């Protein structure tokens, strides 16, 4: 059922437990061991790295009473972002996006249980995005240690959305430099780059648009798992998602406009090529004809006998050429 690239890394369970005063952290490789280490009176976060091992995922899923459909969604990396409410838990499935020349996407699932527990599933360690949360948990800075599991779930999703901003910033820089290139030195490769960036925008849209619905449903769901104070934060997160979507749409509009620029600059260059051809041809074709006329071998051609014929002919030819050059100047072709 796992649909991502094949993976061999060992699955790792990271258990974090905390309340306002205490904080514990431990790594496990066996789900049962991890579960038995849970102390029930604290907020618990279990982060699972390695969703390719569907057998382990199923075992931990059963312990927590996760529906088999949810488990399928968690390990199916083609899954569309969505939020679902079950009786004992709420699940949010998202794409974590990073951008390093091209878009890299990873599936992240956050399950919030009614016993103050959050379980997050991902393939590789989404370390960078979650590091700030871990640091806050360890040091006790910020609000997170004072709040419940619902706030922790919010923090994880918030970290994902913040990562979108990072990726979009890099893409924005890329678009700007592409725009520069387009205006000053467009090549066939520019066009292909443009197309591949459009593709990436199509991909991003697919990842980002459902986030809006996800967070909206999260905020509005009537589950008692989410406290009122957390809902305020989710409302704020919703606005962030709208901003992400706005930016993606803006990028799409910009890329479409750049397409037009590209085509018009191709037309312009064609025009320039045509002008050079036309100017050279138009200047030399008439005078070449005149030279041809006096290259004829007729017996009786009075001009040929004249001592000034040659110079007069040159004069005529130069007059024609200069006249044409003036004509092109006036037409602003030169």
Kindly state the number of chain residues that form the binding site for a second copy, as judged by CB under 8 A.
82
Q: Residues 1, 124, 183, 334: which binds a second copy (CB under 8 A)? A: 183
Shortest gap between Cβ of 221 and a second copy (angstroms)?
Answer: 14
Q: Residues 80, 134, 220, 231: which binds a second copy (CB under 8 A)? A: 80
- Close Cβ partners of 240 (under 8 Å, ≥ 6 residues apart): 158, 161, 162, 165
- 8 forms part of the interface with a second copy (CB under 8 A): no
Q: What would the DSSP string read from start to end of 219-275?
A: HH---TTS-HHHHHHHHHHHHHHHHHHHHHHHHHHHHHHHHHHHHHHHHHHHHHHHH
Shortest gap between Cβ of 249 and a second copy (angstroms)?
Answer: 9
CA atoms within 13 A on the CB side of 129: 27
Q: What would the DSSP string read from start to end of 109-155?
A: EEEEETTSEEEEEESS--HHHHHHHHHHHHH--SSGGGS-HHHHHHH
Task: State whether residue 27 is helix, strand or coil.
Answer: strand
- 261 forms part of the interface with a second copy (CB under 8 A): yes
Q: Residues 124, 202, 316, 318: which binds a second copy (CB under 8 A)? A: 202
- 326 forms part of the interface with a second copy (CB under 8 A): no
* Stretch touching a second copy by CB under 8 A, among 19-27, 31-39, 114-122, 297-305: 297-305
- Can you read off the two tokens belonging to residue 321? 């050429």
- CA dihedral of 305, 307, 311, 313, whole degrees rounded to 10: -20
> For residues 139 and 256, which CB has a smaller minimum distance to a second copy in the complex?
256
Q: Residues 26, 141, 146, 199: which binds a second copy (CB under 8 A)? A: 199
- 230 forms part of the interface with a second copy (CB under 8 A): no
Residues between 273 and 292 with contacts to a second copy, criterion CB under 8 A: 273-278, 280-282, 284-289, 291-292
Interface map 22-41 toward a second copy (x if CB under 8 A): --------------------
Residues between 102 and 141 with contacts to a second copy, criterion CB under 8 A: none
């Amino acid at each position: 059922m796992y649909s991502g690239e094949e993976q061999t890394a060992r699955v790792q369970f990271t258990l974090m437990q905390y309340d306002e005063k205490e904080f514990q952290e431990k790594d496990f490789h066996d789900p049962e061991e991890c579960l038995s280490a849970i102390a029930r009176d604290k907020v618990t976060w279990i982060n699972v790295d390695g969703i390719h091992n569907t057998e382990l995922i199923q075992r931990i899923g059963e312990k927590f009473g996760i529906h088999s459909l949810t488990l399928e969604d968690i390990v199916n990396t083609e899954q569309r972002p969505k939020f679902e409410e079950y009786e004992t838990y709420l699940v949010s499935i998202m794409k974590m996006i990073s951008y390093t020349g091209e878009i890299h996407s990873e599936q992240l699932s956050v399950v919030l249980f009614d016993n103050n527990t959050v379980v997050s599933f991902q393939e590789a360690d989404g370390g960078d995005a979650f590091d700030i949360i871990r640091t806050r948990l360890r040091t006790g800075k910020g609000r997170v240690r004072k709040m419940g599991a619902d706030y922790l779930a919010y923090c994880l999703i918030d970290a994902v959305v913040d990562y979108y901003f990072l990726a979009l910033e890099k893409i924005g820089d890329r678009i700007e430099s592409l725009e520069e290139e387009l205006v000053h030195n467009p090549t066939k490769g520019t066009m292909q780059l443009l197309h591949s960036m459009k593709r990436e925008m199509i991909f991003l849209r697919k990842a980002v648009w459902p986030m809006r619905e996800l967070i909206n449903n999260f905020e509005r769901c009537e589950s008692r798992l989410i406290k009122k104070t957390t809902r305020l934060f989710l409302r704020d997160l919703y606005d962030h998602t709208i901003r992400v979507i706005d930016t993606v749409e803006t990028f799409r509009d910009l890329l479409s406009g750049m397409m037009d620029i590209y085509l018009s600059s191709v037309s312009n260059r064609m025009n320039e090529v045509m002008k050079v051809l036309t100017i050279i041809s138009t200047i030399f074709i008439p005078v070449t004809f005149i030279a041809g006329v006096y290259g004829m071998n007729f017996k009786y051609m009075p001009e040929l006998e004249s001592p000034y014929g040659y110079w007069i002919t040159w004069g005529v030819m130069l007059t024609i050429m200069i006249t044409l050059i003036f004509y092109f100047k006036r037409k602003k072709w030169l």
